[in-house]
Amino acid sequence: MSERVRNGAYDDWLDAIGDDEGYYVECENGHGWLPPRRVCPDCGSRELSEEPLPEAGEVATHSTVHVPTPQFEDDAPYVIAVAHFGPASITGMVRGADPEDVEIGTVVGVEVGERATTGDRAVVFRPR
């Protein structure tokens, strides 16, 4: 699904990940989120700052997807995972690993890849 109008904060965040300058949004109490956030959903703090995303994250849960949405038809099967990067958590596809080798606790980096199906940008984790 290519689009002409940017989803500002989301596309800015992808740009930053692509430039190896990924960040997350953190409140004064250490709760981490992906942008845009004006308020912390956990504690209600509005004192939010952009913090550099840790270079390495840890897979918290994962699944090999065999039946994708149409936008990922040619990508399947692929591994989707949630990974913790410090206080922020991210959902992405794991590439560069045999699906059988992806486990809870696998250490990954995050980068911007392309969907095989549409060429659109996608969040990609790669074991490191």
Partner 1 sequence: MSDPRVAGASVTRFGKHPERTGRDLFAEAGLAALDRSGVPADDVDALYYGNFMGEIAEHQGHQGPLMAEAVGLTVPATRYEAACASSGAAIRDAVRAIRNGEQEVVLVGGMERMTNVGTAAATDALAIAADDLYEVRAGMTFPAAYALMARSYFDEHGGTREDLAHVAVKNHEHALVNDNAQLQKEISVDEVLDAPMVAEPLGLYDACPITDGASAAVLTSEDYAERHGLDAPVAVTGTGQDGDNLALHDRQNYAATPAAAGAVAEAYADAGIDADDVDFAEVHDCFTIAEVLAIESIGLYEPGKGISAAREGETTRHGETPINLSGGLKAKGHPVGATGVAQLVTITKVLEGTHARADAVPAADVGVAHNAGGTAASATIHVFEVKA
Q: Which residues bind Zn ion (CB under 5 A)?
A: 27, 29, 31, 40, 42-43, 45
- Give the binding range for partner 1 (CB under 8 A) out of 22-30, 45-53, 115-123: 115-123
Confirm if 40 and 48 have CB atoms less than 8 A apart.
Answer: yes
**Helix (H), strand (E) at residue 110:** strand 107-114
Q: Within 10 A of 42 (CB to CB), how many other CB atoms are there?
A: 12
One-letter amino acid at 127 equals P
**Coil, strand or helix: which one is 25?**
strand
Question: What is 65-97 written as a DSSP string?
Answer: ESS--GGGTTT-SEEEEEEEETTEEEEEEE-SS
Residue closer to Zn ion (CB basis): 31 or 126: 31
Cβ(65)–Cβ(77) under 8 Å?
Answer: yes
Minimal distance in Å, beta carbon 53 to Zn ion?
Answer: 17
Residue 33 interaction partner, one of Zn ion, partner 1, none, beta carbon < 5-8 Å per kind: partner 1
Smallest gap from residue 91 Cβ to partner 1 (A): 4
Contact partner at residue 66 from partner 1, Zn ion, none, CB < 5 to 8 Å by partner kind = partner 1
Q: What tokens appear for 93 in the block?
A: 């596809």
In the complex, minimum distance from the CB of residue 34 to Zn ion, in angstroms, rounded to a whole number: 14
Which residue, 26 or 75, has its beta carbon nearer to partner 1? 75
Binding site for partner 1 (CB under 8 A): 7, 10, 33-34, 41, 60-73, 75, 78, 80-82, 89-93, 104, 115, 120, 122-123
